[in-house]
Structure 1
Amino acid sequence: MRTHLALVTAEPTAAELAAIDAEWPLIAAELDVLDAEITLLYAEDHGGPTELDWRRLRRAVARVTRAAADTATRTDPLRAA
């Protein structure tokens, strides 16, 4: 069965853009974790990951933890609007 997607013509509101901007440090930190994990996967084909690869992953995970804590302690821009 084929479903049709509705065309989205509405632009994001200023509050929604502010919410994305407020969460951007967490998003960037999660992308760093993903990049480090991909590096570990590719390292398996070249003799295995190095200590530097593992350290990079640990630091990226620590950044996610800090960014998540910072994001959680800020006021929610969508609720404040």
Structure 2
Amino acid sequence: MTDIVTVQDAVTAFADFMDPTAAELDAIEQEMPAILADVDLLDAQIITLDRTPTELDTQRIRRARRRLLAARRELANRTAGTSLPGGAA
């Protein structure tokens, strides 16, 4: 005789009550400038995939890379000043 196994975990893994918490949404909001800068860099790089990059393309990629690095630096500096709950460092 074979046992019948419940698939409750598979069914409820993506249930409506599994929405992101407020803390997760806040973390995403704080990272959004870095995410958007990364998308801009990818867009600039994708444009040059099927052709030889022009000087304008090179400048666009360089500018997007600088914006991404600045956004990541700002995010790292902002999160470096916060402490973890429970006094852990």
TM-score range, shorter chain: 0.7 to 0.9
Higher relative contact order (CA 8 A, sep 6+): 1
Return 5+ residue gaps in structure 1 as ranges.
none
1:74 alignment counterpart: 78
Q: Percentage identity across aligned positions?
A: 46
Structure 2 length as normaliser, TM-score?
A: 0.70
Report the RMSD for the aligned CA atoms in angstroms. 2.1
Return 5+ residue gaps in structure 2 as ranges.
1-9
Once residues 8 and 52 of structure 1 are traced to their aligned partners in structure 2, the CA distance between those partners, rounded to angstroms, is 47
Q: SS of 1:49's equivalent?
A: coil
Shift of 1:8: 4.4
Structure 1 or 2, whichever has the larger Rg, is 2
2:68 alignment counterpart: 64
Equivalenced residue count is 72
Stretches (4+) displaced over 2 A: 4-9
